[in-house]
Amino acid sequence: MNFSRCFLPFLPILASVCALDAQIMHVGADHARTVPNPAAGDSTFIFVFFASSQRVPALRARTPGKDTADFTWYRFDESTRNIDPVPVETDRDVPESTLVSVAEGGYMLVYDDGKLSDTFRTWVFRDDVRIDSVVHVQNCDHLTFTLYPSSGGRLFSTYYYFDFCRLDDVMERIISNTFTVAWDADADIYAGASGMSQAWKTSASYSNSLRAPFAEASYTATITNVFGNKSKEYKTQRIQPMGVYAAFDVLKADKSGIFSPTTNLKGEALWRMKLDNKSINADKYRWIGLNNQDVNFLVNDTLWRFDTEDVIEEIVYKPGRYPVRLTAENTRTGCIAVSSATASDGGARDYVVEVSPSEFAPESLPNAFTPNGDGSNDVFTFVKSKRPVSMNAMELKIINRNGQLVYKYSGAVSDWEGWNGKVNGSGSECSSGVYYYIISGDGWDDKTYDGKRYTGFVHLFRNN
């Protein structure tokens, strides 16, 4: 009885693959797989030998036991799409046969032990993955690499083989090379830039485009193909950066006048700030501050402009919205970058300092206090959660039930320490009872708070 077999589907990536009636094995293959042939109701066995392993490809067959058999090896002729009738090797009456120095292509083995005759077919790839060259093109926005690989002289994107399970219907087939390219650099090309993606380090294409780097570096590339064959690392020449990164920190003053970085660009007047340049790969700078975000930067609504590296001059803002833009340039390359923040819709916008409008309400003051020295509620002052916002100055008068003025404060809102329940000037304590207050003031946005409207009562309690 004759059997025609294209493959023997057992243990696909081990050192040997066994038949039921005999054995056929690869010797040192680095990869093995089966690919189906629905038309023949069978599959083709693929053996892959990596050139980098420096092993000599070989195929081996043996009888299932201690018996002997005749082994005849044939090559598949790709030009005629048929089996070459001249055997490449014949071993007679032996338990084992080895075909050494196997070249890439298709092979057929005829096995005959006098009782059983079998035919085995397989395909061998001699795979050499290497990078021949890497070409780069760079502009102010992107650095693009194009990688030129080689794999045994064939088109690297696919691997071609012939399925000759049926000699009356030989089919040319392909294995798609779903390769990956691992990229890296010998320097942090985006050092100092926050949130820069590192996705460029992995690619599934010959071409890889990344944001123009900010630092000089050499780049390396390594290909891993569909068989798991990995090329040697290819290293480029050192590439000078063209990318420019424009960024800055806002330094806001606290009550003591000490400036420190802040990411919260919302607050109340007076807003006092300086600007610390964090740009990369630039040597020329221009700062612009506007009065309204909706105003075009070409329109003459500029509040201030600086052409220095940092803005060490204190900038003071009253209530309003104030876009700030930094333009950084590399005069060697002519590349320019503009600072931007992330908008709510995911796009880019200018950094905007938002200073709250003035706000004051009678409910910002409590309706009772107990100046008894116990450390709790001893002072009549603003409720923290309702304190005035962006107020410039105020005048506060407190009158007793007889219409007499017992306390008065006039000055900055931030300087008012509150009323301790004593009469202005004399230091004598006011008695328990109900007092009437009147407040007037001005906001930093020039809004006036009329004392006729901002009035209320406060209860003073003493534990006598």
Q: How does 96-130 read in b/e, with b if 16+ C-beta sit within 10 Å? A: ebbbeebeeebbbbbbbbeebbbbbbbbbbebbbb
What are 211's strand-pairing partners? 142
Is-contact 288 302, C-beta < 8 A? yes
Side chain identity at 234, as an amino acid letter? Y
Residue with tokens 């400036």: 259
State the virtual CA torsion across 369, 374, 379, 384 in degrees, nearest 10. Answer: -90
3-state SS class at 71? strand
Strands 42-50 and 117-127: parallel
Give the per-residue pLDDT at 6.
54
Q: Which long-range contacts (CB under 8 A, 24 or more apart) does 17-20 make?
A: 17/45, 19/64, 19/118, 19/120, 20/64
The two beta strands, 248-253 and 259-262, are: antiparallel
What pLDDT score does 382 carry? 92
Q: Other C-beta atoms within 10 Å of 362: how many?
A: 14
Nearest to 57 by CA among 140, 150, 122, 132: 122
d(CA 398, CA 457): 9
d(CA 15, CA 24): 11
Q: What angle do CA 125, 131, 135 make, to 5 degrees?
A: 145
Closest CA to 406 of 437, 439, 370, 441: 437
Count of Cβ atoms closer than 10 Å to residue 227 Cβ? 22
User: How far is the C-alpha of 282 from the C-alpha of 363, rounded, in Å?
Assistant: 52
Question: Is 197 in contact with 283 (CB distance < 8 Å)?
Answer: no
Hey, what's the torsion of the CAs at 289, 290, 291, 294, to 10 degrees?
-140
Answer for the pair 247, 279: CB distance below 8 angstroms, yes or no.
Answer: yes
Assess contact for 300 and 288: CB atoms under 8 A: no
Assessment of whether the complete model's pTM goes beyond 0.85 = no
452 Cβ neighbours under 8 A, 6+ residues apart: none
Query: Which CA distances in Å does 398 have to 123, 363, 372, 432?
Result: 102, 16, 19, 14
Q: What is the pLDDT of residue 9?
A: 33
Tens digit of pLDDT per residue, the chain (464 long)? 233 455 433 323 333 333 334 456 778 899 988 887 776 667 778 899 998 888 888 999 888 877 899 999 999 999 999 999 999 999 999 999 999 989 999 999 999 988 888 888 889 998 989 999 999 999 999 999 999 988 766 657 788 999 988 888 898 988 988 999 999 999 999 999 988 889 999 999 999 999 999 999 999 999 999 999 999 999 999 999 999 999 999 999 998 899 999 999 999 999 999 999 999 999 999 999 988 755 555 555 889 999 999 999 999 999 999 999 999 999 999 999 999 887 666 677 889 999 999 998 878 899 999 998 888 899 999 998 888 999 999 999 999 999 999 999 999 988 899 999 999 877 899 999 999 999 999 999 999 998 888 899 999 998 75
Across-strand partners of 163?
171
Distance separating alpha carbons of residues 460 and 434, to the nearest angstrom: 6
Residue 411 pairs with which residues in a beta bridge? Answer: 394
The pLDDT of residue 292: 73
**Model pLDDT, residue 10:** 30
Domains of the chain: 2-127 (2.60.40.10), 130-150+178-235 (2.60.40), 248-356 (2.60.40), 362-460 (2.60.40)
The pairing of beta strand 180-185 with beta strand 405-412: unpaired
Q: Encoding tokens for residue 380?
A: 């009549």
Contacts of 115 (CB under 8 A, 6+ apart): none
Distance between CA atoms of residues 59 and 120, nearest Å: 12
Question: Residues 129, 130, 135, 136: what is their CA dihedral angle, to the nearest 10 degrees?
Answer: 80
